[in-house]
């Protein structure tokens, strides 16, 4: 159930974010602080036409003669007004290049007016006009490169606007006569309702927000306001839902308080407490973690915990590059696992771990790190970015222990340099290194940047209660020759009524360990508690170490050479071809060699059976 659902979320998230026509923005050439953004737009769920303007207040940190704003070429820029008059602007390659006659520095204001028909990416897209129950709806989803499709934005990662106003004007009623509501990030600060014409909804957030996390939606939403308990006191929880969807309404708070409790306990206060938390229903599968207002298709456990997790990992601290998207998605995916661990009596946690590890361990290649950010499908690879990203965290937790692991995460997410800003994988590794007192660079080289998974062939041999185990590791991809790894193995007796756990540290491709087992070991399961990424090829006893019969074929007598595994005495039986016992002897446990005389027996085939406790072994015996 969990795996399917997860697949579904990730697939849909990817579908949503996939955009066929994009080129990577060059606005990273800009060096400025984004002090304020005021986006004013006129939209209509029944039309793809948009008219708007955006006013930016920027602090140019260096003398700047040109600046680039991202805007899809299908939209028309109607003019640029700057507090310092510009020389010219030109639109090309999905950017507006704005040029001043001489370099400017410090605070400036920039207004960009635009209009046009928003490009309709077939099947998915950043600006969707659709229907629910025959009612028109409009929603946006800008991650990763879609903000420019509907507003002039600095969409390259690296910019968060200190404050943002989203000022939406839409028809008061749709053509069916349904009253429409526009939703966005932050708090509604003004609503002007002209009954027969248009309504204007002005939202404002005073938290730093990345452009891709700004979103709007318009339809005949109903609204439910609830209060959640948080460490900072009551929190407004807004739900915008379709009037016909009573199930969404009924489930709007299901598990939500539990998710808040888990995340606040582990990572600190909900970051946007001064404003709100919210969900807005949309028609896409899956969800999108728009800051303070996630858009979601339903109120399912996996989806809601994932999107709420993003308010910390993704929105508060945002990946600095789409190559590091696992800092958003791997974390959000793992935090769902932490909710399964801590909620619903932990029932689903092993199921979730098993499913995720199975997905990851089936991968022969591909890294969590995204080498090519021009491929949106690769950025949002559900197996690599989501599942493997989550499980390398899970495995690291087992490697370093809960105390250091959670301390590192708490310190990371509360780093003043990273909060309301951006982070790179190296920032995170530094926290793991400091919290544990160990260096984990090699771990990330193998598991994040490297590809593939370890494969294990295990052999074992037992002498008395001592068992020697030999682990041979190969890898599925040449980028990693050895995955250093802590592994748990559960060894069982024949009937699986008894077991003993062994923990080994894999540091070489071929390594032997020993442990004590108070029974005859018959089989083993590597990673029985779902802690590690690995694939088991085989676990088998070494047969040369079980009884050796000599000679065979034999004339008069033979001997069995072996170190019996238990302190109790054993039995040696010989059966004829009809399965009848023709000879039975006791084998004292102290003896390593047992002799059997068969001089008086007829020539032919026999079966030899040796039994010590739960250990049973047979061989064909030939007398001539």
What span, in angstroms and rounded, lies between the C-alpha atoms of 453 and 473? 10
Total number of residues binding Zn ion (CB under 5 A)? 2
Contact 378, 318 (CB under 8 A): no
Write down the least CB distance from residue 24 to Zn ion, Å: 21
Write down the least CB distance from residue 58 to Zn ion, Å: 30
Cα 109 to Cα 39, 81, 82, 90, 302, distances in angstroms? 13, 8, 6, 18, 43
Smaller CB separation from Zn ion, 324 or 329: 329
**Nearest in space to 240 (alpha carbons), one of 200, 173, 292:** 292
Among 119-127, 194-202, 322-330, 459-467, the segment contacting Zn ion (CB under 5 A)? 322-330
Contact 153, 309 (CB under 8 A): no
Smaller CB separation from Zn ion, 329 or 399: 329
Backbone angles phi, psi at 19, to 5 degrees: -140, 125
Smaller CB separation from Zn ion, 336 or 451: 336
Write down the least CB distance from residue 257 to Zn ion, Å: 21
Helix axes 301-312, 326-342, angle to 10 degrees: 130
What span, in angstroms and rounded, lies between the C-alpha atoms of 165 and 149? 19
Smaller CB separation from Zn ion, 108 or 332: 332
Write down the least CB distance from residue 219 to Zn ion, Å: 23
Among 332-340, 486-494, 538-546, 608-616, the segment contacting Zn ion (CB under 5 A)? 332-340
- Candidates 332, 339, 428, 453: give the one binding Zn ion (CB under 5 A): 332
What span, in angstroms and rounded, lies between the C-alpha atoms of 18 and 7? 16
Give the per-residue SS3 of 549-573.
Answer: EECCCECCEEEEECCCCCCCCEEEE
Write down the least CB distance from residue 380 to Zn ion, Å: 8
Smaller CB separation from Zn ion, 368 or 574: 368
- Residue 144: cis peptide before it, omega within 30 degrees of 0: yes
Write down the least CB distance from residue 287 to Zn ion, Å: 7
Place of tokens 């010989």: 574
Which residue number has the CB closest to Zn ion?
A: 332
Structure token pair of residue 498: 């008894």
Task: Name the percent of the chain in helix, strand, coil, to the closest 5.
Answer: 25, 40, 35
Smaller CB separation from Zn ion, 377 or 571: 377
Write down the least CB distance from residue 562 to Zn ion, Å: 58
Residue 469: CA count within 13 A, CB half-sphere: 31
Smaller CB separation from Zn ion, 286 or 452: 286
Smaller CB separation from Zn ion, 202 or 332: 332
Contact 491, 466 (CB under 8 A): no
Scan residues 123-162 and list those touching Zn ion (CB under 5 A).
none
Among 58-66, 321-329, 343-351, 425-433, the segment contacting Zn ion (CB under 5 A)? 321-329
What span, in angstroms and rounded, lies between the C-alpha atoms of 166 and 144? 20
Interface with Zn ion includes 384 (CB under 5 A)?
Answer: no
Among 22-30, 58-66, 160-168, 330-338, the segment contacting Zn ion (CB under 5 A)? 330-338
Write down the least CB distance from residue 321 to Zn ion, Å: 16
Scan residues 194-253 and list those touching Zn ion (CB under 5 A).
none
Smaller CB separation from Zn ion, 110 or 332: 332
Among 252-260, 265-273, 325-333, 388-396, the segment contacting Zn ion (CB under 5 A)? 325-333
Residues at the site binding Zn ion, with contacts judged by CB under 5 A: 329, 332
């Amino acid at each position: 159930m969990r795996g399917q659902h997860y697949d579904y979320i990730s697939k849909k998230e990817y579908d949503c974010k996939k955009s066929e026509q994009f080129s990577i923005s060059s606005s990273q050439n800009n060096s400025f602080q984004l002090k304020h953004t005021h986006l004013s737009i006129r939209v209509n769920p029944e039309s793809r036409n948009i008219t708007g303007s955006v006013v930016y207040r920027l602090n140019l940190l260096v003398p700047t003669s040109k600046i680039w704003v991202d805007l899809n070429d299908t939209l028309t820029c109607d003019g640029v007004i700057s507090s310092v008059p510009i020389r010219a602007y030109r639109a090309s390659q999905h950017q507006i290049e704005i040029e001043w006659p001489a370099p400017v520095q410090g605070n400036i204001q920039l207004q960009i007016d635009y209009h046009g028909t928003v490009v309709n990416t077939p099947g998915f897209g950043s600006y969707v006009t659709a229907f629910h129950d025959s009612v028109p709806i409009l929603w946006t989803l800008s991650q990763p490169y879609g903000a420019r499709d509907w507003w002039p934005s600095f969409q390259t990662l690296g910019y968060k606007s200190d404050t943002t106003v989203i000022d939406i004007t839409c028809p008061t009623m749709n053509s069916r006569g349904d009253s429409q509501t526009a939703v966005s990030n932050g708090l509604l600060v003004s609503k002007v309702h002209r009954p027969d014409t248009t309504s204007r909804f002005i939202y404002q957030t005073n938290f730093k927000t990345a452009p891709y996390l700004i979103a709007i939606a318009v339809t005949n939403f109903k609204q439910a306001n609830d209060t959640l308990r948080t460490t900072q006191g009551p929190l407004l929880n807004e739900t915008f839902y379709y009037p016909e969807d009573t199930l969404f309404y009924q489930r709007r708070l299901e598990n939500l308080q539990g998710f808040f409790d888990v995340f606040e306990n582990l990572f600190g206060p909900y970051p946007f407490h001064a404003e709100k938390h919210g969900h807005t229903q949309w028609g896409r599968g899956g969800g999108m973690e728009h800051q303070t207002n996630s858009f979601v298709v339903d109120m399912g456990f996996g989806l809601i915990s994932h999107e709420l997790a993003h308010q910390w990992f993704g929105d508060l601290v945002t990946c600095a590059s789409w190559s590091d998207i696992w800092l958003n998605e791997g974390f959000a995916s793992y935090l769902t696992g932490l909710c399964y661990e801590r909620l619903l009596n932990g029932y689903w946690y092993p199921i979730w771990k098993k499913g995720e590890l199975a997905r990851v361990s089936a991968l022969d290649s591909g890294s969590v790190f995204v080498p090519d950010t021009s491929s949106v499908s690769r950025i949002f690879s559900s197996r690599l970015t989501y599942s493997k990203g989550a499980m390398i965290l899970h495995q690291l937790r087992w490697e370093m222990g809960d105390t250091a692991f959670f301390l590192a995460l708490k310190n990371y997410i509360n780093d003043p340099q990273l909060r309301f800003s951006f982070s790179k994988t190296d920032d995170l590794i530094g926290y793991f290194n400091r919290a544990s007192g160990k260096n984990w660079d090699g771990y990330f080289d193998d598991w994040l940047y490297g590809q593939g998974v370890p494969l294990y062939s295990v052999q074992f041999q037992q002498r008395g209660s001592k068992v020697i185990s030999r682990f041979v590791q190969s890898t599925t991809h040449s980028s990693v020759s050895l995955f250093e790894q802590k592994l748990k193995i559960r060894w069982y007796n024949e009937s699986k009524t008894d077991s003993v756990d062994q923990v080994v540290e894999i540091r070489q491709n071929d390594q032997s360990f020993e442990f004590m087992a108070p029974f005859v070991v018959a089989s083993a399961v590597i990673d029985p508690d779902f802690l590690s990424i690995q694939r088991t090829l085989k676990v088998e006893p070494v047969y040369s170490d079980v009884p050796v019969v000599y000679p065979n074929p034999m004339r008069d007598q033979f001997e069995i050479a072996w170190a019996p595994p238990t302190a109790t005495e054993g039995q040696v039986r010989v059966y004829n071809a009809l399965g009848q016992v023709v000879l039975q002897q006791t084998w004292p446990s102290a003896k390593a060699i047992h002799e059997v005389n068969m001089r008086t027996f007829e020539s032919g085939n026999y079966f030899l059976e040796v039994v010590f406790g739960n250990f049973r072994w047979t061989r064909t015996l030939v007398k001539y």
